[in-house]
Amino acid sequence: MNQSFFALISRMRYIGRWGLMRNSLPENVQEHSHMVAVIAHCLAVIGRDIYGKECSPELCATAALYHDASEILTGDLPTPIKYHDEAIKNSYKEIERKASLRLLELLPDELRSSYEPLLFQEDGSVCSYVKAADKLAAYIKCIEERKAGNNEFKSAEAQLLAILKNNPLIEVSYFIENFIPAFELTLDELGTMS
């Protein structure tokens, strides 16, 4: 039996992101997924601890680790293409679904029920946190590129900020207000050696 799920997951690091853009700091799907997991966990903690919402930060973080797993088989399709129109968007969602099913088949039967909810996340609040974290991670990437002197991401940064400001999750506003300003600082300004 071919149980290559984790060998394929480890290949996330070979899938580049932002393929149509000139990158000063290349980013791969594995790095992106880690940052999305960190942010999704934080958003859920904010929701639970500050706003009294019922949510699982651990589930949000774990779901975020796998949110782009299908790209191991499909590659990373640039956003302007993926969302060009409804037909392309729906077709690509079906391709991603089939890729996720294929990944699930590469696990032993006994483990599939534990990984299926991560590859096919249906919990509305978890999906909301992961999607918001995905946008925040992309926004942070744009900030980092701008700080590196790369204006290629200027438009994407503005678009993502507008999307984030319209996000109905109050946790997103909290994150932007409290944590995003630090991404503008240098290492010395972050207070690492105080």
Residue that wins the pLDDT comparison between 175 and 194: 175
Query: What local confidence, expressed as pLDDT, does residue 82 receive?
Result: 80
pLDDT at position 81 is 78
CATH number of 38's domain:
1.10.3210.10
Residue 106 scores a pLDDT above 60: yes
Average model confidence (pLDDT) for the chain? 93
> DSSP characters for 10-42?
GGGGGSBS-TTS--SS--BHHHHHHHHHHHHHH
For the chain, what is the domain count? 1
Please indicate, yes or no, if residue 46 is contained in any of the structural domains. Answer: yes
Half-sphere exposure of residue 144, counting CA atoms within 13 Å on the CB side? 12
Q: Which of 59, 67, 60 is nearest to 33 (CA)?
A: 67
Per the model's pLDDT, the better-predicted residue between 12 and 121 turns out to be 12
State residue 42 phi and psi, 5-degree precision.
-60, -45
What is the structure's pLDDT at 130?
A: 98
Please, which pLDDT band fits residue 194 given cuts at 50, 70 and 90? low
Is 185 inside a domain boundary? no
Closest by CA position to 33, among listed 57, 56, 10, 54: 10
Q: Tens digits of per-residue pLDDT, 69-104? A: 999 999 887 777 787 888 888 898 899 999 999 999
Question: What are the structure tokens assigned to 106, written together?
Answer: 């590469």
Confidence of residue 115 (pLDDT cuts 50, 70, 90): very high
Q: What does the pLDDT average to over 104-131?
A: 93
Residue at 41 is within a domain: yes
Q: Residue 91 is part of which domain span?
A: 5-180
Residue 26 Rama label (left phi>0; alpha psi -120 to 50; beta): beta
pLDDT tens profile 165-185: 999 999 999 999 999 999 999
pLDDT band at 1 (very low <50, low <70, confident <90, very high): low
Q: Residue 59 has what pLDDT?
A: 96
Flag whether 187 is in a domain: no
| pTM of this structure | 0.93
Whole-number Å distance between alpha carbons of 92 and 97: 8
For residue 189, being part of any structural domain is answered with no
pLDDT surpasses 90 at 147: yes
Which two structure tokens, joined as six digits, stand for 3? 């149980």
So what's the pLDDT on residue 77?
Answer: 77
173 within a domain of the structure (yes/no)? yes
- Sign of CA pseudo-dihedral 22, 25, 29, 34: negative
Tokens found for residue 119: 């590859």
Specify the pLDDT at position 193.
Answer: 64
Q: Residue 28, Cα to own-chain centre: how many angstroms?
A: 11
Buried b (16+ CB within 10 A) or exposed e, 123-140: eebbebbbbbbbbbbbbb
